[in-house]
A and B are shown apart, each in its own frame.
Chain A
């Protein structure tokens, strides 16, 4: 039992289960999944689908935070990527063709990658603190997205592009499959190769890892580039969900949600260690929470309040001081029976 409660993911998973239980109590058919038109339907599937963009952004964020960085620009990249792809499709002669959509996706992802590389350049080569380096793109990025859409909310009809956000494949949402695929890829890359360890070593001490032969600069650059790329992908999914490029509101506050998800999942902002499965749980908690608020009938505008409460609870439970108090109490309890035996 103590093994379980001591596991790093115990509190986040407990919070997620508590949320799901609360929902089921409120609406007994909450966890029911039915098959309709050959697709799976139900609240759990909704959660998985709504979680996809946040999952992608949070994946990149996890890696960036593991190197002791932070990426505030992801929301702006989401907006730029959505604006670029939809504007391209809208101006193309044949918005419904697959080749147009693929080209639009390629352009949006390419630009997102470039933006990520730009952040990486500022952090690893110029040596600016990550929070400020990415603040620059966060501020300017939405302006750039507005420039692309010319301040309009571009609406587009394109069946192939719509598939990305609202389509189903093998009964599951395409968005979920994309995010799941990227998650597995990153997990394999970081945990089955040395990459994850190198990322952590850079997070613990960049100078020492450089002296030990780790290309710290390249690693930092890579994680920022990946964060940009994943945010671009998230932007595509979000854009295809609503089929409208809204430069002002697309991905608004997604950087904060992503950072929350990462922190709830037990990855420390101090860098040096990260947990992809923790981030997954964090993302699911935030998405479930958002859905819960809607289901219970509270105005979605109040959601931030609940997010704040979850964050405060989880971070306080993970804080060293409370852990020590718990550990001290557990030690006392463990010591008492021994005295009796002696």
Chain B
């Protein structure tokens, strides 16, 4: 168990063993700042985030207020949870297209069950479990039957979305007292920073995911599979179990995301979360995780969600800009990040 103690040897060694004729300026700066190359994409995301904050702060009054920034977390708590789950899947080199539909299914089920009079104490864990079960089924499809993740999760997406309409074609409002009380709970950190229950849950999920990825065998196996599935198998790592588990994690996150969304909107509607899986994937990519797997961080994905949220906020602040500019800007940002990642990976190989 203690055999993996010297952590520095795995991170620091590849530099000197392969001498390079030219040091790029970027790398020279990075070296001076002592930033590991693995963190470069995340640092890039952070720079973009800071840039947006500076631009927003310079252009609009009140943009840099605690209220706006706290709202950023409140409005995006479910997306943070989705992106965290998606990070696990993408780290293994897979993809999960089902999360938007599973989120809707979980939200609709929550509203339907509460409407039917089922107590909130049963509903809350039940709808999260729905996500886990769908994730498990997808994972089994991917692993046991060798269906490509893209297709398996696509089927999961259609399945969940169809079920939504079977359960309730129309929007169901949530009036259950316990649920509304939980959803409405908030606390003020430092007197100015409002945190709702959703924000607390999403931050706990982030912390849990960080712990899972960096301090457990499961997390190390996730990275190993992304680095090379064959090698991971030859190393004797539990590849099969882990590959199924990442979809369970992502499904559970989607179920939890649905719960948070139901809290946020106080209702369940079958058409919520359409194309939200793309937002989650975009957040993960902007957060510096490579789609080929093996490289990336949960905290990067959180930064990615914040970048997306800030773009939305800026466009709202601008007022005259139409909502469709959001999509165009996100597309452009994706392009920049992907090209940047490509340049970084090219230099590595």
Where the two chains meet, the residues of A that have a C-beta atom closer than 8 Å to any C-beta of B are 70, 122, 126-129, 131-133, 135-144, 146-147, 151, 247, 256, 259-260, 263, 269-270, 299, 301-309, 311-312, 315-316, 319-322
Give the chain B neighbours of A144 by CB distance below 8 A. Answer: 328
Q: Is the CB of A321 within 8 A of B291?
A: no
Q: When the two chains form the complex, which single residue of A138, A270, A308 contacts B162, counting CB atoms closer than 8 Å? A: A308
Where the two chains meet, the residues of B that have a C-beta atom closer than 8 Å to any C-beta of A are 95, 141, 144-148, 150-152, 154-159, 161-163, 165-166, 169, 270, 278, 281-282, 285, 291-292, 322, 324-328, 330-332, 334-335, 338-339, 342, 346
> What is the CB-to-nearest-CB distance from B298 to chain A, in angstroms, rounded to a whole number?
19
Q: Is the CB of A304 within 8 A of B161?
A: yes
Q: Which residue of B lies closest to A144 (CB)?
A: B328
Q: When the two chains form the complex, which single residue of B141, B155, B328 contacts A140, counting CB atoms closer than 8 Å? A: B328
Q: Is the CB of A270 within 8 A of B278?
A: no
Give the chain A neighbours of B338 by CB distance below 8 A. Answer: 128, 132-133, 136
Q: Is the CB of A319 within 8 A of B327?
A: no
Give the chain B neighbours of A140 by CB distance below 8 A. Answer: 327-328, 330-332, 334
Q: Is the CB of A302 within 8 A of B165?
A: yes
Q: Is the CB of A308 within 8 A of B156?
A: yes
> What is the CB-to-nearest-CB distance from A250 to chain B, in angstroms, rounded to a whole number?
14
Q: Which residue of B lies closest to A146 (CB)?
A: B324
Give the chain B neighbours of A122 by CB distance below 8 A. Answer: 335
* Most chain B CB within a 10 A radius of its CB, from A129, A141, A304, A316: A304
Q: When the two chains form the complex, which single residue of B152, B166, B325, B346 contacts A305, counting CB atoms closer than 8 Å? A: B166
Give the chain B neighbours of A259 by CB distance below 8 A. Answer: 150-151, 154
Pick the 3 closest A-B CB pairs, nearest first: A305-B162, A140-B331, A143-B327
Q: With the chains together, A263 CA to B158 CA distance in Å?
A: 15
* Most chain A CB within a 10 A radius of its CB, from B144, B278, B324: B324
Q: With the chains together, A18 CA to B278 CA distance in Å?
A: 35
| Given A143-B324, A308-B156, A321-B144, also A132-B285 (CB < 8 A) | yes
Q: Is the CB of B270 within 8 A of A135?
A: no
Known: A126-B339, A135-B334. 10 other contacts (CB 8 A): A136-B334, A136-B335, A142-B324, A247-B324, A256-B158, A259-B150, A305-B158, A305-B162, A315-B155, A321-B144
Q: With the chains together, A133 CA to B322 CA distance in Å?
A: 25
Give the chain A neighbours of B346 by CB distance below 8 A. Answer: 127
Q: Is the CB of A143 within 8 A of B141?
A: no
Q: Is the CB of B334 within 8 A of A304?
A: no
- Can you give 27 contacting A-B residue pairs, CB < 8 Å? A122-B335, A128-B342, A129-B292, A131-B291, A132-B291, A135-B282, A137-B331, A140-B332, A142-B327, A147-B328, A259-B150, A270-B148, A299-B165, A301-B165, A302-B162, A304-B157, A305-B162, A305-B166, A308-B162, A311-B151, A311-B158, A312-B155, A312-B159, A315-B151, A319-B146, A321-B145, A322-B145
Q: With the chains together, A302 CA to B161 CA distance in Å?
A: 8
Give the chain A neighbours of B291 by CB distance below 8 A. Answer: 129, 131-132
Judged by DSSP, the binding face of A is helix
Q: Which residue of B lies closest to A316 (CB)?
A: B145
| Given A315-B147, A315-B155, also A127-B342 (CB < 8 A) | yes
Q: Is the CB of A301 within 8 A of B331?
A: no
Q: With the chains together, A301 CA to B158 CA distance in Å?
A: 11
| Given A135-B282, A302-B162, A312-B141, also A269-B327 (CB < 8 A) | no
Q: Which residue of A lies closest to B137 (CB)?
A: A312
Q: Is the CB of A303 within 8 A of B331?
A: no
* Most chain A CB within a 10 A radius of its CB, from B141, B151, B325, B339: B151
> What is the CB-to-nearest-CB distance from B284 to chain A, in angstroms, rounded to a whole number?
11
Q: Is the CB of B145 within 8 A of A151?
A: no
> What is the CB-to-nearest-CB distance from A134 to chain B, in angstroms, rounded to a whole number?
11
Q: Is the CB of B282 within 8 A of A139?
A: yes
Q: With the chains together, A313 CA to B282 CA distance in Å?
A: 30
Q: Is the CB of A139 within 8 A of B165?
A: no
Q: With the chains together, A301 CA to B270 CA distance in Å?
A: 10
Give the chain B neighbours of A309 by CB distance below 8 A. Answer: 159
Q: With the chains together, A316 CA to B330 CA distance in Å?
A: 36
> What is the CB-to-nearest-CB distance from B126 to chain A, in angstroms, rounded to a whole number?
20
Give the chain B neighbours of A269 by CB distance below 8 A. Answer: 148, 150-151
Q: With the chains together, A170 CA to B82 CA distance in Å?
A: 52
Q: With the chains together, A308 CA to B145 CA distance in Å?
A: 16
Give the chain B neighbours of A322 by CB distance below 8 A. Answer: 145
Q: Which residue of A lies closest to B336 (CB)?
A: A136
Q: With the chains together, A319 CA to B163 CA distance in Å?
A: 25
> What is the CB-to-nearest-CB distance from B167 to chain A, in angstroms, rounded to a whole number?
10
Q: Which residue of B lies closest to A129 (CB)?
A: B291
* Most chain A CB within a 10 A radius of its CB, from B165, B322, B332: B165
| Given A128-B339, A270-B148, A299-B165, also A136-B331 (CB < 8 A) | yes
Q: Is the CB of A301 within 8 A of B169?
A: yes
Q: With the chains together, A136 CA to B278 CA distance in Å?
A: 10
Give the chain A neighbours of B328 by CB distance below 8 A. Answer: 140, 143-144, 147
Q: Is the CB of A320 within 8 A of B146?
A: yes
Q: With the chains together, A128 CA to B141 CA distance in Å?
A: 27
Q: When the two chains form the complex, which single residue of A70, A143, A308 contacts B150, counting CB atoms closer than 8 Å? A: A70
| Given A131-B291, A139-B278, A146-B324, also A315-B145 (CB < 8 A) | yes
Q: With the chains together, A132 CA to B293 CA distance in Å?
A: 13
Give the chain B neighbours of A263 by CB distance below 8 A. Answer: 151
